[in-house]
Structure 1
């Protein structure tokens, strides 16, 4: 297809936009080619326009430096002791960022320092975020990123990638973590470009998860225990405990205690970290969740073995693939808008309905503590927790 010339040095070819601009003669000696041509990695005209403006700004800044910033080079010609051999080399337009690593370098440094005992998902999320920013505004030294670039990155995630606001925020937070950590550890100026990014529609694309009614929970539990394979037992285990899916999948046999006051010990493992500090907790096993735990334990050959081997091999936890499979099976059995995570929402409602104290509810679910006082002491006893959990097994 013949290229179509656009404004702002933009061309289109096969639906994609390209930046194309001739190098001025005054700086041509510094380039291998007489024309700058690069893909803008988009089919969206407005995004292409913004990226082209950014490239033009960077090029013009570089050409100005090449032409004028080496002041000593041309001023020396008027001095009595002028010698061409003593002229100063031209200053690179990125010299002010010479001590600042590229974002890709910062990401690898971040992974090397923060990736110990992290699952593959952590590495994947960091590299995915870097790939997205490369596709949108390009890879630069971390101190070269400004609010204009950060906002363009936000727009790319929302408008071109079609991500929800929540997903875009998570990705931007990942980039923020990379540049903040690297700048601090390398004793570089603070990078604030990715802090407090504004979103015009803060809830765009967010899905409100609904709790599952108790009648549906009972039917699902009965069917899960009848089938009794790993996926169904996972659902049954979650149904009366309110565990997050990743928390349940990452359990090993030793985390399940089936003696007096049966319970689960939710704690971090190398293959599965916990979401927050409050997530580390003890949750009683009652009803269908207790039955599921007993069946899963009976299949484990050692206390160090993963409790649910279909989704955890002791090295990584396959939470994403498990979520898709379990939600697909669950969908026709629960009301619209309900997913596996909805059991967690239901747990809170069920505990409210039996008038369980709010502080104990927060402790059972691993939710953030509402007051400073809740951080004092060791929390409720397993006996007290079991008493309240037994009430919801009969609701």
Structure 2
């Protein structure tokens, strides 16, 4: 910060030239400001440097605001031009693109602009119809915001926790890219930049023994964001992140527990006492239903149906997007799952829409209690065990698919198995519940 600090009239002063990219917005040329600290009182400038840190931070925030405002105004003008062009029945395109189109279309655009009424509106019509408004610069730092805006309709049914899970991997991929490539317009990003990013990931994989799949997820997220923005804004960019996946990725699969381990260890009295009541009962409810953890924690008083001839739960979206269309299903309650539902008739408010928090808590506790016998075992393994238990008694494929919420690969006829029919199969695999839940 010493480069911005100078002595003047016995006081320390902050002096900094306005950056070139802000020169049109901040006409001062050089910013000068007194720290109000006398040189005689601070001969080495230690206090003055701390003050210039503060002044510089405020100044840079001011410049960022100017640039953000300029970008927002440019985006507003561009969006207005696109809407205006559509109102005349034409698509919006840059001037260079329009110039390459058939003469008849160009003439039609000019005539439409000349016919704009009132006449005072002709200038905006010309801008809209002849591509006079350039696309606002989209920089890497604003890439995700632009992508999220374009995806608004696609993610409208996600819950808050699902939105967080949707956002975070993309933001993380972009942050990793920005650690390798300086912030720039996405139109200036090159294949060489993308290859540098791939090489950076390869070095990390070798040095830190990281999973190749993690790198490929980053590359995939960046590729999708670029393709989406490129298509939406007709930028004509080359697919800089295309065909960059690192070979050698292993597709890991979660393990299932042995049914005997589930019965004798996990359902043993006191085995899960280190968990809070809700977390423990989530496990118990999964045992005889095969529900996903995220499905259990989002059950409510309306979807836990105990006053029915066949007590059951209704797996429904309820403010969130379900994993598949087949995930909406009704599952009878038997054994320890019925006991858990009776103990939590209003659901699991502590973990509602917090499936990741629940899984992290349970996995940590089960690992400490030696209830995860292998590296691939997790809370989710209970769901895989449920499917294995049904398979072991030769349950029909259609019955397994409907209980698991999987797609059944045959045409759908009739209403499908009743709750009573489903319960018959579940009672055949029911384990002995612990004496208390």
TM-score by length of 1: 0.62
Q: Which residue of 2 aligns with 1:40?
A: none
Q: Which residue of 2 aligns with 1:251?
A: 299
Q: Which residue of 2 aligns with 1:350?
A: 389
Output the CA distance in 1 between the equivalents of 2:337 and 2:188: 53
Return the offset for 1:98.
Answer: 5.7
Return the offset for 1:104.
Answer: 3.6
Q: Which residue of 1 aligns with 2:348?
A: 308
* Partner-residue secondary structure (3-state), 1:282: strand
Return the offset for 1:164.
Answer: 2.1
Q: CA RMSD in A?
A: 3.2
Aligned CA distance change for structure 1 residues 189 and 376 (closer, same or farther; 3 Å)? farther
Say whether the 8 Å CA contact 1:359–1:374 is kept in structure 2.
no
Return the offset for 1:147.
Answer: 4.9
Output the CA distance in 2 between the equivalents of 1:289 and 1:378: 25
* Partner-residue secondary structure (3-state), 1:251: coil
* Number of residues of Structure 1 aligned to a counterpart in Structure 2: 283
Q: Which residue of 2 aligns with 1:276?
A: 324
Q: Does 1:336 align with 2:374?
A: yes
Q: Which residue of 1 aligns with 2:176?
A: 132
Say whether the 8 Å CA contact 1:225–1:232 is kept in structure 2.
no
Aligned CA distance change for structure 1 residues 222 and 281 (closer, same or farther; 3 Å)? same
Say whether the 8 Å CA contact 2:263–2:431 is kept in structure 1.
no
Output the CA distance in 2 between the equivalents of 1:234 and 1:224: 15
Match of residue 315, structure 2, among 263, 266, 272: 266
Output the CA distance in 1 between the equivalents of 2:202 and 2:289: 35
Structure 1: give runs of 5+ residues left out of the alignment.
1-31, 33-96, 301-306
Q: Which residue of 2 aligns with 1:304?
A: none
Return the offset for 1:133.
Answer: 1.9
Say whether the 8 Å CA contact 1:142–1:191 is kept in structure 2.
no
Aligned CA distance change for structure 1 residues 122 and 261 (closer, same or farther; 3 Å)? same
Aligned CA distance change for structure 1 residues 320 and 355 (closer, same or farther; 3 Å)? same
Structure 2: give runs of 5+ residues left out of the alignment.
1-28, 30-133, 433-437
Q: Which residue of 2 aligns with 1:101?
A: 138
Return the offset for 1:346.
Answer: 0.7
Q: Which residue of 2 aligns with 1:233?
A: 281
Q: Which residue of 2 aligns with 1:83?
A: none
Output the CA distance in 1 between the equivalents of 2:220 and 2:418: 37
Q: Which has the larger radius of gyration?
A: 2
Say whether the 8 Å CA contact 1:143–1:189 is kept in structure 2.
no
Q: Which residue of 2 aligns with 1:286?
A: 334
Trace 1:11-26 onto structure 2 (pairs within 5 A). none
Output the CA distance in 1 between the equivalents of 2:415 and 2:238: 39
